[in-house]
Amino acid sequence: MILIIAEKPSVASELAKVVGAHKKEQGFFSGKEYLVSWCVGHLIELAKPEQYDESLKSWKLDTLPIIPSVYQTQVCYNTSSQYHILKTLMNRSDVNELIEATDAGREGELIFRLVYHQVECKKTFRRLWISSMEEKSILDGMASLKDSANYDNLYQAAFCRQRADWLIGINLTRLYSTMYNTTLTCGRVQTPTVQMIVAREREIKQFTPQTYYTISACFETFKASCKAETKQLATQILADCNTSTAVVIKSEKQQKTELPTPLYDLTALQRDANRLLGYSAQQTLDYLQKLYDNKLATYPRTDSRYITKDQTESVKRLLDTLLSSGIFKTLVSKNYSTENVKISQIVNNKKVTDHHAILPTTSITPEKFQQLPSGEKNIFLLIAYRLFSAVYLPHQYFSSKLVLDIAGYSFSASGREDIQEGFQFVEHELKKALNLSQSKTESESYSHLPPLVEGSSLTISKMFCEEKKTKPPISYTEDTLLKAMETAGKKIDDSSLQDIAKTCGLGTPATRAGIIENIIKTGYIRREGKKLLPTETAYTFIDIVDQTIKDPILTAEWEKQLAEIQSGTLSADCFMQNISQFIQSLVQKTKQSYADNPNHSIFQKCGIAVCPKCGKQVLEYPKSYSCESGKNGCGFVIWKQISQKNISQTQAVKLISKGKTDLIKGFISKNGKPFDAYLVFKEDKTIGFQFP
Ligand SMILES: [Zn+2]
């Protein structure tokens, strides 16, 4: 018998169908020569410090750092029954070969190997490495199973990642929490992420807007403007120009071509879904994972935005299937045609490593599409329209620039004129399909400049002056934070630099959503609308934590080394040795500097408002804004989530100080119906709805 082990039950059941293992048994499927079973994510974890030594259970400074010489693993308690089923199956005497069918990536590799080692299994195994759960991919993958040794380095990289994270997490969380007498979670990726958000908010707080002036000269069909630093100068320019004519100094018109945006990798999809639909990175990953499990999308955790050359024919068929499915009727009715499609635009063998870009699949039908829950439906639309757009015609336009001289001052204007809308047409159709309001397209917001001869003069119809202020940076949203994590805080906004940035990012596409959720759960960051804002704890924590731990460059460097382990150019031992030494010296140094200057009380919480029931402070907690008097006190509490809607700190403060919030939109009733309401206090200071 051959035992196939998948990462999740849903995948196992698909695999079982395809290989003909139709009989459902306790924790596995059987049939033909196959047994098909599954993990439930990670079944094995690194042992806690107290497993090495009972005395390490309590957090003490003098037991730090904790650096095991041999790392122990243990079976996760909650899923231990599935582990024991796998153990029994692996040890069955009639099982002579295994197939590793966990997700094709670093984490998937680790999930299988840890179980394999925990069982102390010695049977040979081969790797099923597929990017899609469609029957054809599974069959192709089963027909070309890979030698497990090909993935040994990937496993080493995964195991190093896990151990390094354990070292940082255990040692630094204990170190800072013990010193400051409050829970201060530390993480290799999460701490630099918190630092970026804190730094951005400080930039915003410290920003002083500069006043400047623009002076505009209006002509028949366009306007030109110049800038002045002071009001005095602006008034002077206005006065000087009033009776003058304008002379054309320079008139340029250039034809420009903008190529379509490439296909989605996970991060790009998460960013767009956040920007357009307000989804968190985790929600997007969850929706996409469901689509993948149901064979409607390809592998989610990819960092490639291209396909390989040998996929050209199948993508052509995919396009035909989608266009004739009836789901994209409006696109077809507006003459979207495969005649204008160039698949070669999305082909780049060098930019595909383990997985190609995210694609929809041919399994979609109008019935399946209609039955999708709205989140999955929207994500499906995003990836399908992105395919239509990425292979479509480029956007072509004329870009014109004009420089005028008015009374010795230089005025300029720029304009744009579409020649061919190209792929932008597909993007407009996507917004319609998602019921999003159409913002002005880029070219609509530009004026058309008339053709003008250099040296000719123009009559000014009107002049005016506007006072403007420079704008502060903008708070992070999940969209912009994902981008910042991908480029590790470097201010790179050029998509052509993404290859360099990829080697020095914070986290991986697969882990970023989880990291964002985690810094919210651990109380460093809170959501306010789309914004991600630091809590008071985060500000103070970032001030005391060691520079090396909050600097994105360090973890980016580690991520680069993990990639080197994966490609076989760096040994796992060497990496672990470096990390251990790093932890050792960091812990010593931090303990010493704290001993020189102890400060236990800087994390004492400051309240967000005064308790309306008893007058003590209302503090922010992970799940609520509550009175500091605690459970045996007055009992005042505002839950952070009410009828599935997150209540921001601003609204909580309004409710406490004014007795009523602003109108809050998007509560969901118990029957699943959305509604809008104000939150108000009832007489006993519990919270009720008031309807508009
Ligand atoms: Zn109270």
- Token representation of residue 99: 């197939």
Measured CA to CA, the distance from residue 399 to residue 395 in angstroms comes to 12
Using the mean position of ligand 1's atoms as its centre, give its distance from the Cα of residue 628 in Å.
7
Helix (H, G, I), strand (E, B) or coil at 174: helix
- Clarify whether residues 9 and 118 are in a common domain: yes
Using the mean position of ligand 1's atoms as its centre, give its distance from the Cα of residue 683 in Å.
15
Measured CA to CA, the distance from residue 321 to residue 343 in angstroms comes to 15
Tell me 260's DSSP state. P
Would you say how long the chain is, in residues?
A: 692
Using the mean position of ligand 1's atoms as its centre, give its distance from the Cα of residue 632 in Å.
10
> CB of 145 within 8 A of CB of 21?
no
Domain count, the chain: 5
Which domain range does residue 97 map to?
Answer: 2-43+79-144
User: What is the CA 445 to chain-centroid distance, rounded?
Assistant: 30
- pLDDT, averaged across the chain: 90
Q: Do you find a cis peptide bond into 262, omega within 30 degrees of 0?
A: no
Domain boundary residue, one of 336, 354, 389:
389
Using the mean position of ligand 1's atoms as its centre, give its distance from the Cα of residue 630 in Å.
8
Q: Between residues 628 and 381, which one has the greater pLDDT?
A: 381
Confidence of residue 573 (pLDDT cuts 50, 70, 90): very high
Q: Do you find a cis peptide bond into 65, omega within 30 degrees of 0?
A: yes
**Per-residue pLDDT tens over the stretch 299-330:** 898 889 999 888 899 999 999 999 999 999 98
Task: Indicate which CATH number applies to the domain containing 128.
Answer: 3.40.50.140
Instruction: From 265, 275, 184, 187, select the one nearest 476 (Cα to Cα).
Output: 275
Dihedrals phi, psi of 47, to nearest 5 degrees: -65, 150
- Clarify whether residues 562 and 501 are in a common domain: yes
- Clarify whether residues 304 and 286 are in a common domain: yes
**Per-residue pLDDT tens over the stretch 188-213:** 899 999 999 999 999 999 999 999 99
- Clarify whether residues 302 and 280 are in a common domain: yes
Task: Indicate which CATH number applies to the domain containing 534.
Answer: 1.10.460.10
In a domain, 51, yes or no: no
Using the mean position of ligand 1's atoms as its centre, give its distance from the Cα of residue 524 in Å.
24
Q: Which of 165-174, 243-252, 377-386 has the lowest mean pLDDT?
A: 243-252
Per-residue pLDDT, 614: 83
Per-residue pLDDT, 499: 47
Q: Between residues 553 and 144, which one has the greater pLDDT?
A: 144
**Per-residue pLDDT tens over the stretch 250-286:** 999 999 999 999 999 999 999 999 999 999 999 999 9
Using the mean position of ligand 1's atoms as its centre, give its distance from the Cα of residue 687 in Å.
14
The proportion of the chain whose per-residue pLDDT surpasses 90, expressed as a percent, equals: 65
Amino acid identity, position 637: V
Helix (H, G, I), strand (E, B) or coil at 99: strand
**Per-residue pLDDT tens over the stretch 87-106:** 999 999 999 999 999 988 88
Task: Indicate which CATH number applies to the domain containing 454.
Answer: 2.70.20.10
Measured CA to CA, the distance from residue 586 to residue 174 in angstroms comes to 13
- Clarify whether residues 137 and 10 are in a common domain: yes
**Per-residue pLDDT tens over the stretch 421-465:** 999 999 999 999 998 876 655 445 667 888 888 899 999 999 999
Using the mean position of ligand 1's atoms as its centre, give its distance from the Cα of residue 637 in Å.
8
Per-residue pLDDT, 443: 47
What is the sign, positive or negative, of the torsion defined by CA atoms of 173, 174, 178, 181? positive
Q: Which of 34, 299, 336, 392 is catalytic?
A: 299
- SS3 per-residue string spanning 311-347: HHHHHHHHHHHHHHCCCCHHHHHCCCCHHHCCHHHHE
Per-residue pLDDT, 515: 94
> CB of 71 within 8 A of CB of 96?
no
Per-residue pLDDT, 319: 95
Per-residue pLDDT, 497: 41
Per-residue pLDDT, 491: 46
> CB of 254 within 8 A of CB of 395?
no
Using the mean position of ligand 1's atoms as its centre, give its distance from the Cα of residue 608 in Å.
13
Per-residue pLDDT, 441: 52
- Clarify whether residues 311 and 377 are in a common domain: yes
- List CB contacts of 105: < 8 A, sequence separation 6 or more: 301, 354, 355, 510
Per-residue pLDDT, 296: 94
Per-residue pLDDT, 605: 66
Domain boundary residue, one of 340, 358, 389:
389
> Region 670-692: what's the mean pLDDT?
90
- List CB contacts of 653: < 8 A, sequence separation 6 or more: 608, 609
Residue 264 annotated as catalytic: no
Tell me 631's DSSP state. T
Per-residue pLDDT, 498: 45
Using the mean position of ligand 1's atoms as its centre, give its distance from the Cα of residue 606 in Å.
14
- Clarify whether residues 508 and 530 are in a common domain: yes
- Ion ligand 1 — residues with CB under 5 Å? 611, 613-614, 616, 627, 629, 634, 636
In angstroms, what is the C-alpha Rg of the chain?
30
The answer, yes or no, to whether residue 542 has pLDDT greater than 50, is yes
- Clarify whether residues 183 and 34 are in a common domain: no
Confidence of residue 173 (pLDDT cuts 50, 70, 90): very high
Measured CA to CA, the distance from residue 162 to residue 262 in angstroms comes to 32
CA distances (Å), origin 165, targets 161, 188, 257, 480: 6, 6, 46, 25
Packed helices 190-206 and 512-521: angle between N→C axes, nearest 10 degrees: 70
